[in-house]
Structure 1
Amino acid sequence: MVFTGSTGGGGRESSGGFTPAGDWTPPACWYEPKWTPAEFAEEFRKNWDIPHASGVGEAYRLSQDHYINGEPYEDFNKEKTGKGIWWESVRDEDRAEAGDPAAFACDARTFWVDNGEAPEVENAVTPEILAQLAYARIKVPDTSVTLAPGDATKVNLPTWAWLDNAEFDEVSVTASLDVGGVNIQATTTATPVALKLEPGTPDAETYPASGECTINADGSIGEPYAKGKADRTPPCGIKYLRSSGNGAFDLRATVTWEVAWTGSGGAGGDLPDGTFGNDQEVVVQEIQSINR
C-alpha cells in the first residue's frame, strides 16, 4: 500500500495529524492482498525455517497441513496462480506499540481470495477503508494565528486574530493498492472550516462570543488588522480583561477540518471532522496612565 500527498503537512510547518470528532477512529488493523502463491510459499518457509522453529513442532505441523497438505489448501494454491491472491492482516504499528487492543483484532490467518471475489472478513481493504487509512496519515499545518497587536496586547484592547487563505488551505492524502490484480485507491481531503480561540484565562472575552470564527468565502479565517480599524470590533479575536503579569497566557487556536473522500469506481462520502490546535503565548500588559 502506498500513501502520497500531505503526509508531511502543507503550507505552514506541520506538527501532526488531527483528532477525529467523537469516538470514531480509523482502523487500527486491516486485511490487504499480499502474496502470490510462490511468494507466500517463500515467506512461509522463511517464517518456519527449522532452526527458528524448534519447540513449535505442533504449530508448524498444523500450518503445513493448512497451507500445503490440503487442509484446506494444497501446496499454497500454486495451481491457482494468476487466479487469485493471498491476503494478510496488517496493523498500525504506532497503535500497536501504544498497546491499543484494536491493533490486534485482525487475527485471521493468511487466507486465499479468488479474483473477483470479496473477502469475508471485517476491515478487508475497500476504497472506503483506504480512505480511512489515508485519514490517519494526513498531516495538517500548525495553527499559529496572526495577532494584532503582535508582540504584546493591552488590557481591554481588542486583539485581532486571523489565518490567511494563502498559507492555510485544504490538504489531502491518497492511499493506493495494486497487488495481484487488486487495484483500488482513495483520496481523503481535509478542508479548514472554522477556528476556535481559547484565551488561556477566564478573564477574557472572545469575538464572536462563542470563540468560533468561521471561514470566509476566500478561504481565510478572520480579518487582518489594518490602520483605521482601531474602533471596530474584530470579527475574530480576543479582549483580555487583566494583564498576564510577568508571564503570558497560553492562547489555544484550534482549527476544525471537514473531511471527505473519493475513490475507485466513483465511491465517496464524508468522514468525521478533525480538529488540530496549537498553543501560543500572548503577553498582556496594563495600559500605563499618568495621573496629574
Structure 2
Amino acid sequence: MSVTTSRRTALVTGVAALTLTLGTSLADPAYAGEQPSNSQGSNTEQSGGGNKTGIYAAVRIEYSGSVAPNGGSGNVTSSDVNWSPPPCWYAPYLGAKDFKKEMSAKIKDAASAPGMTGTPGAAIGQTKAHYEDGFGWEDHPGYEDYNVAKDGEGMFWAGVENPNEPDILKRSSCTELPFWVDNGEAPPPRYERAITPEILAALAYQHMELPGTEVTLAPAETTKVNLPTWAWLDKTDFHEVRATASINVPGFALTATTTAKPVSLKLEPGTPDAETYPASGECGFDDDGSIGEPYAKGKADQMPPCGITYLRSSGDGTFNLQATITWDIAWTGSGGAGGDLPDGTFENAQAVTVQEIQAVNR
C-alpha cells in the first residue's frame, strides 16, 4: 500500500471512529423546527443538521407547493422501478469558525472515549491534523486551523442523509470528510453527490403530494351485469401540480421545481370477467383537461369512451376497481437547468357492486 493510500485509509478510519463514538454522522438529518400543515403554497422544511441550537441551519432544505407535511414522503410512485431519490448528498454545512467549534469538540470527545487507542487513536490524530495542521493527501487539501482565516469566504460541506431513505447503508454512504468550498464556486468534480438542482428536483419529486383519483361512475357504485359503466374525471378535478425544493445559505443558493402533469387514467376492474373501454383500459386526457365523457340520459346502450362492462355479478361482495392516474414529471432549476424525471403514478381503489339484471315474467 502506498503512503498516500494509507493516509487516506487512516483518515477514513478516523471519521469512522468519530461516528462510532458519537453515534451520529458528521451531518445527519436533524431537527427542522415547527412544521406547517400541508397545503398548496405552504412551506415544509427539512434540516440536515443534528440539534436544536440552529448551528446546523446551513444544510436546511425548504419544500413548498404541493408537498407532504413535516418533510414526509409524498404519494407519488415512480413508474421506473430502477429510479429512486438520492439517499444522501453533500451540502453546505458550517462556516469555518462554527465548523472548528463542532469538529474540534467531536475529535476531543472521540479521543477521550474508551478504546480509542492504537490504530483508532492514531486515525483520530491524523483527522485532527487534517483540519488543524494542514495534513492532506492526493487531491484532498488539508486545512490550517480549520480554515478560520477564510471564515465568511466559503463553507465546509458535509454528507447529509436523506431521512426518508429506508436503507441505512445507502443513507449513510456519503462518507467523504467535510471539505471546503469558496463562495460562488462549485465543489470539486470528484464529489459527484454534491447538491445540484437535479438532486433538489428529485427530492421535490419524493415529497410531492398528488390529488386523489376517484373517478365518477354511472351507474354509481352499483351497476348491472353486461351494462356499460361510464367513467370520467371532470377537467376541474386535475391540473398541473408543482413542488419546489430550495437551499439558500450565505454564498450559495439553489432551487428546483418539479411539475407533474396528468396524462392518462388506467382502469383495472378488479376481476378478469370484465371489458374495458378502450380495450387497454387506459383513457387519455382530452384537450380540455377532462377524461372520458359524463353519462347522459339516452346513452345507456352506447359504449362509453372510457368505462367498463362487468360480465358477472360481484355476489355478496364488491369488485375492487383500481383507478390509476399517470403523471408526466419534469423539472426546472437554477441556471436554466431542467429535464425529465420518470413518470409518476398514484392509484385509488373504489368498491363497485355488480348485480344481475332481474327479469320479470308476465
Is the shorter-chain TM-score for this pair beyond 0.5, marking a shared fold? yes
Which residue of structure 2 lines up, in the alignment, with residue 29 of structure 1? 88
Residue 257 (structure 1) shift: 0.4
Does residue 205 in structure 1 map to residue 275 in structure 2? Answer: yes
Q: Report the Cα distance in structure 1 between the residues aligned to 2:111 and 2:278, rounded to whole angstroms.
A: 65
Q: Report the Cα distance in structure 2 between the residues aligned to 1:186 and 1:268, rounded to whole angstroms.
A: 8
Which residue of structure 2 lines up, in the alignment, with residue 50 of structure 1? 109
Residues 43-88 of structure 1 deviation map (CA, whole Å, 9 limit, x = unaligned): 2245346389512462542332122222211121111122221111
Which residue of structure 2 lines up, in the alignment, with residue 224 of structure 1? 294
Task: Give the counterpart of 1:70 among 131, 134, 149.
Answer: 134
1:156 aligned counterpart, secondary structure: coil
Letter matched to residue 280 of structure 1: Q
Residue 108 (structure 1) shift: 1.1
Q: Which moved further from structure 2: 131-140 or 205-214? A: 131-140
Letter matched to residue 50 of structure 1: D
Does residue 17 in structure 1 map to residue 87 in structure 2? Answer: no
Mapped contact 2:111–2:124 kept (Cα < 8 A): no
1:270 aligned counterpart, secondary structure: strand
Higher normalized strand content (fraction of residues):
1
Letter matched to residue 354 of structure 2: V
Report how many residues are paired.
285
2:164 aligned counterpart, secondary structure: helix
Going from structure 1 to structure 2, the CA distance change for 1:89 and 1:144 (only over 3 Å counts) comes to: same
Letter matched to residue 104 of structure 1: S
Q: Report the Cα distance in structure 2 between the residues aligned to 1:21 and 1:255, rounded to whole angstroms.
A: 11
Which residue of structure 1 lines up, in the alignment, with residue 184 of structure 2? 116
Q: Report the Cα distance in structure 2 between the residues aligned to 1:93 and 1:287, rounded to whole angstroms.
A: 54
**1:247-286 equivalence runs, <5 A:** 247-286=317-356
**1:114-193 equivalence runs, <5 A:** 114-119=182-187, 120=189, 121-193=191-263
Which runs of 5 or more residues in structure 2 are unaligned?
1-60, 136-141
Q: Report the Cα distance in structure 2 between the residues aligned to 1:111 and 1:240, rounded to whole angstroms.
A: 63
Which residue of structure 2 lines up, in the alignment, with residue 240 of structure 1? 310
Mapped contact 1:36–1:180 kept (Cα < 8 A): no
Residue 280 (structure 1) shift: 1.3
Mapped contact 1:87–1:111 kept (Cα < 8 A): yes
Going from structure 1 to structure 2, the CA distance change for 1:232 and 1:118 (only over 3 Å counts) comes to: same
Mapped contact 1:37–1:81 kept (Cα < 8 A): yes
RMSD of the TM alignment (CA)?
2.0
Instruction: Give every structure 1 segment of 4 or more consecutive aligned residues whose post-TM-superposition deviation is greater than 6 Å.
Output: none
Q: Report the Cα distance in structure 2 between the residues aligned to 1:116 and 1:160, rounded to whole angstroms.
A: 57
Residue 16 (structure 1) shift: 3.9
1:140 aligned counterpart, secondary structure: coil
Mapped contact 2:221–2:351 kept (Cα < 8 A): no
Which residue of structure 1 lines up, in the alignment, with residue 174 of structure 2? 106
Mapped contact 2:201–2:331 kept (Cα < 8 A): yes
Q: Report the Cα distance in structure 2 between the residues aligned to 1:167 and 1:74, rounded to whole angstroms.
A: 60
Q: Report the Cα distance in structure 1 between the residues aligned to 2:111 and 2:314, rounded to whole angstroms.
A: 64
Aligned-pair identity in percent equals 56
Higher relative contact order (CA 8 A, sep 6+): 1
Mapped contact 1:29–1:90 kept (Cα < 8 A): yes
Task: Give the counterpart of 1:6 among 59, 66, 70.
Answer: 66
Does residue 38 in structure 1 map to residue 108 in structure 2? Answer: no
Going from structure 1 to structure 2, the CA distance change for 1:137 and 1:52 (only over 3 Å counts) comes to: farther
Q: Report the Cα distance in structure 2 between the residues aligned to 1:62 and 1:139, rounded to whole angstroms.
A: 46
Which residue of structure 2 lines up, in the alignment, with residue 12 of structure 1? none
| TM-score, scaled relative to structure 2 | 0.74
Q: Report the Cα distance in structure 2 between the residues aligned to 1:45 and 1:153, rounded to whole angstroms.
A: 71
Residue 232 (structure 1) shift: 2.1
| TM-score, scaled relative to structure 1 | 0.91
Going from structure 1 to structure 2, the CA distance change for 1:100 and 1:247 (only over 3 Å counts) comes to: farther
Q: Report the Cα distance in structure 2 between the residues aligned to 1:94 and 1:46, rounded to whole angstroms.
A: 29
1:2 aligned counterpart, secondary structure: strand
Mapped contact 1:53–1:60 kept (Cα < 8 A): no
Residues 94-130 of structure 1 deviation map (CA, whole Å, 9 limit, x = unaligned): 21xx226432322212111123332231121111221
Letter matched to residue 68 of structure 1: E
Residue 186 (structure 1) shift: 0.8
Going from structure 1 to structure 2, the CA distance change for 1:17 and 1:52 (only over 3 Å counts) comes to: farther
Letter matched to residue 85 of structure 1: M
